């Protein structure tokens, strides 16, 4: 994978321990399951942005928040909710994993942006405008109309209200037109919390050069992830080297200040075999699954049926869940090793591992 000298290995270990390491996207399992929480801890993660509800509406989102808060309370010696950069730095000093509330879908608002104030009080600091499907705000990256349909009037209102509250706008799953519209409407930095470069891998989940440049001009950050089809057109060839290729590309295009890391480790979802029953869906390979709503519990399976070129098929997910060399959060130190092998200096590595995420909060999010 990487050939480092003994001195370089020692530097990598020390650097990973000393840097404030932030994972820009995680599924809720990281903050509700001992197994996945411990993986994050063993990988040296200091703060993690946890997808806490979203697609299930406001009641499901509040329920998800309650579940995470209950987990944090029962693990108060090693976990803490964080809302600001100061709290993230404090969590690292105290040896705790800082958990920041985020969502990947503004469908949680149930058509009423007044709920943003409730989410603000609960500590939500990042919200994705859409998931891969369309909603009342705009189009997701999986939709047929993603290149044409931008923000609705409601979407514009939501962006402005998020700006007022200091909640950062995430466009990782948004369609092309919605992405550009939202950046134009927002007066705070916009994020691609977990998305890669379309010029390298042509998945519609990835972002174009134009979009990446617009995000950077807004003062935002892009979290590079290791989902195989987003790393390489041939997902079986996806490796941690490929993940770093995407980091290199963003750095060369818009500079070192606009790139971070986001795990989005989908291995925390139970694998669904072909023919296995999905709640409310029927068999994973059946027509009933294709007709099912992408916002239900097996929405990820829906998109692997409808748009296999976006993330790969269901079968491929079971065989190639993540880029080789970075198959779980416990392997995150490999990213630091790989960045050293590519010639990044300590300051640049610190930015990629977490400082850039912190800086975007300093510039744009509620930080008080």
**Which pTM was predicted?**
0.91
Name the burial class of residue 118, with classes exposed (0-12), middle (13-18) and buried (19+) by CB atoms within 10 angstroms of its CB: middle
From first to last of its 368 residues, the chain has per-residue pLDDT tens of 789 999 999 999 999 999 999 999 999 989 999 999 999 999 999 999 999 988 889 999 999 999 999 999 999 999 999 999 999 999 999 999 999 999 999 999 999 999 999 999 999 999 999 999 899 999 999 888 888 889 999 999 999 999 999 999 999 999 999 999 999 999 999 999 999 999 999 999 999 999 999 999 999 999 999 999 999 999 999 999 999 999 999 999 999 999 999 999 865 444 434 333 333 333 333 333 333 344 444 566 777 777 777 877 777 766 778 899 999 899 999 999 999 999 999 999 999 999 999 999 888 766 54
DSSP reduced 3-state for 364: coil
Alpha helices in 140-208 (DSSP H): 153-165, 176-185
Pairing mode of beta strands 282-283, 277-278:
antiparallel
Sequence-ordered list of residues with C-beta below 8 angstroms from that of 327, at least 6 positions apart, any chain: 267, 321
Alpha helices in 124-239 (DSSP H): 153-165, 176-185, 209-217, 228-231
Q: 51: part of which helix (H) or strand (E)? A: strand 47-51
Q: How far apart are CA 182 and CA 162, in angstroms?
A: 11
* 47 touches 39 (CB < 8 A): no
Intervals of CATH 3.20.20.140 along the chain = 6-269+321-363
> In the CATH scheme, what is the homologous superfamily, with its name and number, of domain 6-269+321-363?
Metal-dependent hydrolases (3.20.20.140)
**Which two three-digit tokens encode residue 304?**
């692997």
Q: 41: part of which helix (H) or strand (E)? A: helix 34-42
């Amino acid at each position: 994978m990487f050939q480092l000298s003994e001195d370089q290995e020692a530097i990598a270990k020390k650097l990973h321990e000393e840097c404030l390491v932030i994972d820009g996207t995680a599924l809720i399992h990281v903050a509700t399951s001992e197994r996945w929480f411990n993986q994050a801890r063993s990988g040296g993660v200091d703060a993690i942005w946890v997808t806490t509800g979203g697609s299930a509406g406001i009641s499901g989102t509040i329920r998800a928040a309650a579940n995470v808060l209950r987990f944090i309370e029962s693990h108060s010696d090693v976990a803490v909710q964080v809302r600001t950069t100061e709290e993230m730095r404090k969590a690292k000093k105290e040896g705790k994993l800082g958990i920041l509330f985020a969502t990947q879908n503004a469908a949680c608002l149930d058509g009423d942006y007044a709920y943003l104030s409730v989410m603000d009080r609960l500590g939500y600091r990042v919200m994705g405008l859409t998931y891969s499907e369309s909603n009342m705000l705009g189009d997701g990256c999986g939709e047929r109309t993603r290149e044409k349909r931008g923000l609705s009037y409601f979407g514009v209102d939501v962006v402005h209200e998020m700006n007022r509250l200091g909640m950062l706008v995430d466009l990782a799953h948004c369609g092309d037109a919605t992405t550009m519209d939202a950046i134009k409407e927002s007066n705070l930095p916009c994020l691609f919390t977990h998305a890669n470069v379309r010029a390298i891998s042509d998945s519609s989940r990835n972002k174009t050069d134009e979009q990446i440049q617009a995000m950077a001009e807004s003062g935002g950050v892009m979290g590079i992830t290791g989902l195989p089809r987003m790393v390489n057109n041939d997902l079986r060839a996806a490796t941690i080297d490929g993940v770093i290729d995407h980091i290199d590309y963003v750095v060369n295009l818009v500079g070192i200040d606009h790139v971070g890391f986001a795990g989005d480790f989908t291995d925390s979802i139970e694998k669904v075999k072909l023919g296995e029953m999905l709640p409310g869906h029927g068999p994973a390979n059946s027509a009933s699954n294709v007709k099912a709503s992408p916002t239900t519990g097996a929405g990820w399976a829906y998109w692997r049926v409808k748009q296999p070129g976006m993330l790969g098929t269901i079968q491929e997910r079971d065989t190639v869940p993540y880029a080789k060399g970075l198959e779980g959060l416990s392997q995150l130190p490999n990213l630091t090793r790989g960045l050293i092998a590519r010639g990044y200096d300590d300051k640049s590595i610190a930015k990629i591992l977490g400082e850039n995420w912190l800086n975007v909060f300093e510039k744009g999010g509620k930080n008080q």
